[in-house]
Amino acid sequence: MITLGLDIGSVAAKGVLLAPNDSWRVVVPTGWSPRDTGQQLIDELTRLAGLERHDVDAIVATGYGRISVPDADKSVTEITCHAKGLTHLLPQVRTVIDIGGQDSKVIRLNESGRVIDFAMNDKCAAGTGRFLQVMAQVLGMDVSDLADAEDPSETVSINSMCTVFAESEIIGHLAQGMSRGGLIAGLHQSVAKRVAGMAARIGVVGPVAFTGGVAKNSGISRALEEELKAPLLTPGDCQFTGALGAALLARNL
Ligand code: ADP
């Protein structure tokens, strides 16, 4: 069976095509039209796999833009798709922390990989990838360079939770000549504290996995491990967990 999973996120759209003996992955910026982006992923994935659209048996869409993909056979919530993808990659995991562009989630799983509880922050940019993108811009760098540039030995605590106030706080600290590496470590600590607080509400049971685009930032992993006092497992394709779960769920259609 050939299936396709699409995770149309707020920042990045991810697609996974699963064939019996092979798989393909594509990530593109979501842009302003989730509908066009979904179509772009389908076209790109089938092209890479040397297939036609009619060769694909089923498509499941997830993420913010999941209802905007007319070609999808079904849309499924992000929590279900992330749990499915993660259980496939790391079946031993009991807690998943996923930090994306516009929300962060904590998902508790039982031994069979079923979701037993979850918490989600989707009302505020604090504790999300968007917060880091805004701060990276203020610091004149790309979000992918934050981890290498941090200096945890000089961590400057960021007091403002709100993204707008935190931006002013960073500008003020830069004007006072504080080290950029210390400020970045402080931003990582701020995101980690916020997410760890949310995780504490539903309880963290190990082993714990860290997924989502923000899991590519090893500075956030470090800070989260400090806050949770637990090691984190990060799957190699951490940003594709939801899309993989969607492609796996499509096999049941
Ligand atoms: P969404 O599904 O909401 O679009 P993702 O899980 O795709 O979110 O994560 C997007 C976030 O991941 C971005 O906001 C950014 O902070 C972070 N990110 C993406 N690529 C990288 C990278 N190479 N290094 C560090 N962070 C990254």
C-alpha span between 169 and 175 (Å, rounded): 10
pLDDT given for residue 55 in this prediction: 97
Q: What is the pTM of this model?
A: 0.94
The residue nearest atom 19 of ligand 1, judged by CA position, is 213
In angstroms, rounded to a whole number, what is the distance separating the alpha carbons of residues 190 and 218? 15
Distance 215 CA to ligand 1 centre (A): 8
Full strand arrangement of the beta sheet holding 208-211: 115-121, 104-109, 95-99, 208-211, 232-233
Ligand 1, atom nearest to 147 Cα: 25
CB-ligand 1 contact for 242 (6 Å cutoff): no
- Residues 231 and 253 sit within 8 Å (Cβ to Cβ): no
Provide the pLDDT for residue 123: 78
Residue keyed to tokens 């031994």: 111
Spatial CA neighbour of 135 closest among 191, 210, 177: 191
Any ligand 1 atom below 6 A from CB of 130? yes
Looking at the CA of residue 217, tell me the nearest atom of ligand 1: 25
**Alpha carbon distance 115, 95 (integer Å):** 10
C-alpha of 56 from chain center: 26
Phi, psi of 25 (to 5 degrees): -135, 145
Closest to 84 (Cα-Cα) out of 217, 252, 200, 228 = 252
Determine the distance from the C-alpha atom of residue 24 to the mean position of all C-alpha atoms in its chain, rounded to a whole number: 19
pLDDT of residue 66: 87
Distance CA 2, CA 58 (A): 7
* 99 CB within 6 A, ligand 1: no
Joined tokens for residue 239: 């940003």
* C-alpha of residue 219 to centroid of ligand 1, in Å: 14
pLDDT along the chain (253 residues), means of 10: 96 97 96 94 97 96 91 96 96 97 95 94 85 95 97 94 91 94 96 95 96 97 97 95 98 95
Sequence-distant (6+) residues with CB within 8 A of 200 are none
Q: Check pocket membership of 63 for ligand 1, CB cut-off 6 A.
A: yes
d(CA 131, CA 59): 32
- 247 φ/ψ sector (left φ>0, alpha ψ -120 to 50, else beta): alpha
Rounded to whole angstroms, what are the CA distances from 4 to 33, 41, 88, 251?
20, 10, 16, 9
Alpha helices (H) in the chain, listed in sequence order: 34-49, 78-89, 129-138, 146-149, 163-175, 180-202, 218-228, 241-250
Instruction: Report the residue among 143, 163, 222 best suited for mutation to probe ligand 1: largest number of ligand atoms under 8 A from its CB.
Output: 143
Predicted local distance difference test score (pLDDT) of residue 74: 97
Tokens at 160, concatenated: 């403002």
The span from the CA of 24 to the CA of 218, in Å, is 25
Are the C-beta atoms of 49 and 22 separated by less than 8 Å? yes
